[in-house]
């Protein structure tokens, strides 16, 4: 091993200073000689014979900041890294393909993952040791980084075979996972039944949601339960889906003042969140709440839809079109959610005393939302209904409700004067596709053309700046141009958004581009057993180094929809939109190997089970004809009524959207036609009858 440090002509930090990633640019101020991911870093490791330290994090990640501000700002850590390692820093949002592979390698060794991901690699890029957060010295139940670095450096010099044995054990574990196959012959119906049983087994009957602390939202499970209620004609799945949406909306995981959801709850009751706000989470939850509002007609769910949309517009929306990636959890070094939390004294200072009496009771100030590290600070959550608050203080519900509305606005204004958590405005195709999909659905449900316009602007910008017909969509749209071609999730999420926009706007151009992208996915991304690889080397424009040389298949929800399941769902939805059975057949063919791999995944197989369920759910197309207020009302009802696989059009849709069983009547009469598959039912003129017909259209006779 060479004694000197890797050669670098520029000043420390200069490799990251010009990065497109805000996370990497911030690291350029640290005393670490960081490399970005690339050939230069691996060449330096191989030339000097040094191991690699790989740090993967993100600008929204609280513990990444803690490690940056403590561990990677420590002089002794910097000295040890400079003397013995090549250090690489990666933004997981910018490079999900790198993060995916190294999460698997570290997880195979330690059983844990998450961010920051800390990996120790051979010069060839194989993990031999890893973990997540490490303090500079022993603490938090973890070994200190100084001691760990010194010991790894010693072993690398004195007993390298021991470390290489770790590398081989990881390879063996991954190979066993890759080649493991369940018993053949299980049908998709059996797969759905098995996943549903696991989902219900994991349901929390006390606090709702799934599993225990820390508790994440699982939007795909909500969609699966709504499908089960519809298809099986049983009430329990719907009740659980509704209660899950309600408890999250009332909890501290939802920002009761500013709208939008934090990433997850550290407790089982949804009271205390981890405070980062992610485009990915809010896109998935926005779509889930649209489904919930359509199915249950709950005004609270409609409020949450508006709250998410307003937060995204105020925080992530780019005026030129598109959406940013995230908002940080913290607003200063050492912070932990102070922007979002309140002491009772702070609330009193912002409100009149009668307002404080209402707001403090309603939001549970001083109860279960107290921050564990600082019990004086409270996360606001909905402790009790406003009618109960009014009764407890002896005023009418009308007075209490008006007081609460004033208090929310005053608290919002007071909070806006605090230092704001940083926003990462990076535009990534997968996140923009997910958000555009959700915005298109929300705009359709609310009858708000401006929300749909935001979705269109995001997708139009991607098509203009980051789409190449022969290569698909690039992951990153930067001032210097598109980069990061060849990733599955980008293609699928943009195709999903294009399909939704095509149906909502009845514009064939979006369907045409969806067809192009889905054809690219079907043609280029196939791997073993017909599954879809997360990355295609022939399309990928980055260096195929380290673990990137290994194929990877995104099959389990994490907790949002896995890319293979999202592809199957988009095949199905596109098939229903353009009435082309070939795409349904492709979905069925893809779901068979998916189900074989994730049959025991429980809640993380919900997306695949949801897609498999839609295979047996005939598509429904609703066409509203006529003009005037009565026709407008029929259209409004059609768009606000839930069905697991339906499309709504005003007037006879143009090709390729028109159902085969629909013939032009030439009438100007106000009516709605409900077409199930290739058969259209008798015209409907009554709103209540239309709602009832949509709700059961195509439903199985299974009961």
Which of 424, 441, 460 is the last residue before a domain boundary?
Answer: 424
The phi, psi pair for 290, rounded to 5°, reads -65, -45
Residue 662: what pLDDT? 75
Same domain, 155 and 288: no
Task: Judge whether 564 and 531 are in contact, CB under 8 Å.
Answer: yes
Q: Cα separation of 322 and 425, whole Å? A: 10
- Judge if 126 and 20 occupy the same domain: yes
State whether 355 and 254 are in the same domain: yes
CATH number at residue 651: 3.40.30
Residue with tokens 């991607």: 462
Query: pLDDT tens, 350-390?
Result: 999 999 999 999 999 999 999 998 999 999 999 999 999 99
Q: Model confidence at 700, in pLDDT bands (50, 70, 90)?
A: low
Statement to judge: residues 86 and 20 lie in one domain: yes
Q: Model-level pTM?
A: 0.96
**Residue 518 falls inside a structural domain:** no
Q: Is the pLDDT of residue 10 over 60?
A: no
Kindly state whether residues 36 and 102 are assigned to the same domain.
yes
What's the CATH code of the domain at 18?
A: 3.40.30.10
pLDDT of 112 reads 84
pLDDT at 288 over 50: yes
Structural domain includes residue 100: yes
Q: How many domains does the chain have?
A: 3
End-to-end CA distance of the chain: 70
pLDDT digits (tens, 9 = 90+) for 40-89: 999 999 999 999 999 999 999 999 999 999 999 999 999 999 999 999 99
* Same-domain check for residues 245 and 141: no
Q: Return contacts of 412-418, CB within 8 angstroms, 24+ apart.
A: 412/257, 412/258, 413/350, 414/346, 414/349, 414/350, 415/257, 415/258, 415/339, 415/340, 418/331, 418/338, 418/339
116 and 24 in a common domain: yes
Query: Are residue 137 and residue 230 in the same domain, yes or no?
Result: no
Considering the domain boundaries, does residue 89 fall inside one? yes
Range in 13-27, 124-138, 423-437, 652-666 with the lowest mean pLDDT:
652-666
User: Does a structural domain hold residue 532?
Assistant: no
Say if residue 335's pLDDT is above 90: no
CA distance 290 to 178: 37
What is the span of the domain harbouring residue 678?
Answer: 620-696
Confidence of residue 3 (pLDDT cuts 50, 70, 90): very low
Q: Which of 367, 392, 424 is the last residue of a domain?
A: 424
pLDDT tens digits, residue range 243-257?
999 999 999 999 999
Q: What is the pLDDT of residues 186-240, one digit of tens each?
A: 899 999 999 999 999 999 999 999 999 999 999 999 999 999 999 999 999 999 9
d(CA 6, CA 83): 9
| Domain final position from 151, 179, 207 | 179
Mean pLDDT of the chain: 94
Say yes or no: 161 and 259 in one domain: no
Question: What is the rounded CA–CA span in Å between residue 462 and residue 446?
Answer: 25
What's the confidence (pLDDT) of residue 2? 45
Q: Is residue 481 part of a domain?
A: no
Could you tell me if residue 204 is inside a domain? no
* Residue 317 placed within a domain: no
* 263 CA to centre of own chain: 9
Among residues 119, 99, 100, 105, which one has the least CA distance to residue 52?
119
Pair 79, 159 in one domain: yes
- Examine the domain organization and report whether 148 and 270 are in the same domain: no
Q: Is the dihedral of CA 610, 611, 614, 619 positive or negative?
A: positive
Asked if residue 9 belongs to a domain, the reply is: no
In degrees to the nearest 10, what's the CA dihedral of 536, 539, 543, 544? 30
**Claim to verify: residue 397 and residue 249 sit in the same structural domain:** yes
């Amino acid at each position: 091993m060479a004694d000197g440090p890797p050669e670098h002509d520029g000043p420390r930090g200069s490799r990251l200073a010009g990065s497109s990633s805000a996370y990497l640019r911030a690291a350029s101020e640290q005393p670490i000689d960081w490399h970005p991911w690339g050939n230069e870093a691996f060449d330096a490791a191989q030339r000097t014979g040094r191991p690699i330290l790989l740090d993967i994090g993100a600008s929204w990640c609280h513990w990444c900041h803690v490690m940056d501000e403590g561990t990677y700002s420590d002089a002794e850590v910097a000295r040890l890294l400079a003397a013995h390692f090549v250090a690489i820093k990666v933004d997981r949002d910018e490079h999900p393909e790198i993060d995916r592979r190294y999460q698997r390698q570290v997880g195979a060794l330690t059983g844990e993952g998450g961010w920051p991901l800390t990996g120790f690699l051979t010069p060839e890029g194989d993990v031999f040791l890893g973990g997540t957060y490490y303090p500079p010295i022993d603490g938090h139940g973890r070994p200190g980084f100084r001691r760990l670095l010194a010991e790894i450096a010693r072993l690398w010099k004195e007993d390298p075979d021991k470390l290489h044995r770790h590398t081989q054990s990881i390879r063996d574990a991954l190979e066993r996972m890759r080649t493991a196959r369940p018993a053949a012959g299980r049908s998709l119906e059996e797969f759905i039944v098995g996943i549903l049983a696991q989902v219900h087994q994991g349901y929390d009957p006390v606090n709702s949601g799934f599993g225990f602390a820390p508790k994440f939202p699982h939007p795909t499970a909500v969609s699966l339960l709504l499908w089960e209620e519809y298809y099986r004609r049983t009430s329990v799945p719907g009740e659980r889906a509704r209660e899950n949406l309600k408890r999250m909306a009332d909890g501290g995981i939802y920002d009761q003042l500013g709208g939008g959801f934090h990433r997850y709850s550290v407790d089982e009751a949804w009271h205390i969140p981890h405070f980062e706000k992610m485009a990915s989470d809010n896109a998935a939850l926005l779509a889930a709440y649209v489904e919930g509002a359509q199915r249950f007609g709950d005004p609270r769910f409609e409020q949450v839809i508006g709250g998410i949309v307003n937060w995204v517009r105020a925080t992530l929306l780019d005026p030129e079109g598109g959406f940013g990636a995230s908002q940080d959890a913290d607003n200063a070094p050492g912070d932990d959610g102070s922007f979002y939390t309140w002491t009772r004294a702070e609330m009193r200072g912002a409100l009149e005393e009668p307002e404080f009496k209402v707001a403090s009771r309603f939001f549970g100030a001083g109860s279960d939302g107290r921050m564990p590290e600082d019990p004086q600070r409270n996360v606001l959550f909905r402790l009790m209904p406003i009618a109960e608050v009014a009764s407890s203080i002896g005023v009418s519900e009308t007075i209490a409700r008006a007081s609460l509305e004033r208090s929310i606005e005053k608290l919002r204004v007071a909070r806006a004067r605090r230092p704001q958590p940083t926003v990462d405005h990076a535009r990534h195709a997968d996140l923009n596709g997910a958000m555009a999909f959700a915005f298109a659905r929300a705009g359709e449900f609310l009858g708000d053309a401006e929300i749909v316009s935001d979705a269109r602007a995001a997708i139009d910008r991607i098509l203009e700046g980051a789409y190449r017909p022969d290569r698909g969509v690039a992951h990153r749209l930067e001032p210097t141009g598109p980069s990061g071609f060849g990733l599955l999730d980008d293609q699928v999420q943009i195709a999903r958004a294009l399909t939704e926009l095509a149906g909502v706007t009845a514009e064939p151009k979006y369907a045409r581009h969806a067809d192009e992208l889905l054809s690219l996915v079907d043609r280029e991304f196939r791997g073993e057993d017909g599954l879809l690889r997360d990355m295609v080397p022939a399309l990928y424009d980055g260096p195929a180094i380290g673990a990137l040389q290994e194929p990877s298949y995104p099959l389990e929800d994490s907790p949002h929809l896995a890319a293979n399941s999202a592809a199957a769902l988009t095949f199905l939805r596109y098939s229903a939109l353009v009435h082309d059975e070939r795409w349904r057949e492709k979905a069925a063919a893809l779901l068979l190997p998916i189900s074989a791999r994730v049959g025991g995944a429980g809640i993380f197989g919900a997306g695949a089970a949801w897609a498999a369920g839609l295979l047996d759910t005939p598509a429904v197309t609703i066409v509203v004809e006529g003009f005037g207020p009565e026709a407008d009302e029929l259209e409004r009802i059609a768009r606000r009524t839930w069905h697991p696989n339906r499309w709504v059009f005003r007037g006879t849709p143009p090709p390729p959207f028109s159902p085969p069983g629909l013939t032009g009547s030439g009438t100007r009469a106000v009516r709605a036609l409900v077409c199930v598959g290739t058969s259209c039912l008798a015209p409907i003129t009554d709103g209540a009858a239309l709602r009832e017909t949509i709700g059961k259209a195509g439903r199985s006779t299974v009961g």
